[in-house]
Amino acid sequence: MSRVIRHVVVRGRVQGVGFRAHVEHHAFKLHLEGWVRNRRDGSVEAVFAGSADAIAQMIVATEKGPPGGRVDALDQREGSEADLNSRVAGEVFSVLPTV
C-alpha cells in the first residue's frame, strides 16, 4: 500500500464552528498523518497523509464539515513531504496556529 499526501484548502463557514476539531477527529479515526490550521482569509488549510482509501474518506468528511459549518469549496492538490513536515515534531496529526 503506497502512501498518498493531499493538501486541501476549504472555504465557507469553516472557522468558529469546530471545523479543525472535526478534521482532527476524522484524521485520527482514519489513522492519517498531517495537520490542520485556520488561515487569516477565513479558510481552513490541511495536509493529510495515508492510504488512498483513507484519504478519500477524509476528503468526504472534510467536505461534509461539522454541524454548524458550511463548505462552499474544497480545493485539493497533491501534497509533498515538505507540506507534511509543517506539523509539530513528534505528533502524528497537529492543529497548527493560524497563518
| CA–CA dist 37, 15 (Å, integer) | 10
Domain limits at 28? 4-77
Q: Per residue in 27-80, pLDDT tens?
A: 999 999 999 999 999 999 999 999 999 999 999 999 999 999 999 999 999 999
> How many whole angstroms separate alpha carbon 65 and alpha carbon 22?
7
In a domain, 17, yes or no: yes
Query: What sign has the CA pseudo-torsion 86, 78, 38, 17?
Result: negative
H helix intervals, 30-76: 52-64
Looking up residue 43, the CATH number of its domain turns out to be 3.30.70.100
Q: Is 20 an annotated catalytic residue?
A: yes
pLDDT at 10: 98
Can you tell me whether residue 4 is helix, strand or coil? strand
Residue 50 lies in a domain: yes
pLDDT greater than 90 at residue 21: yes
Residue 68 lies in a domain: yes
85 catalytic residue (yes or no): no
Instruction: Out of 6, 20, 37, 87, pick the active-site residue.
Output: 20
- Non-local (6+) Cβ contacts of 41 within 8 A are none
pLDDT band with cut points at 50, 70 and 90 for residue 1: low
- The answer to whether residue 56 is domain-embedded is yes
**pLDDT tops 90 at residue 2:** no
Number of domains in the chain: 1
Residue in 6, 37, 38, 87 annotated catalytic: 38
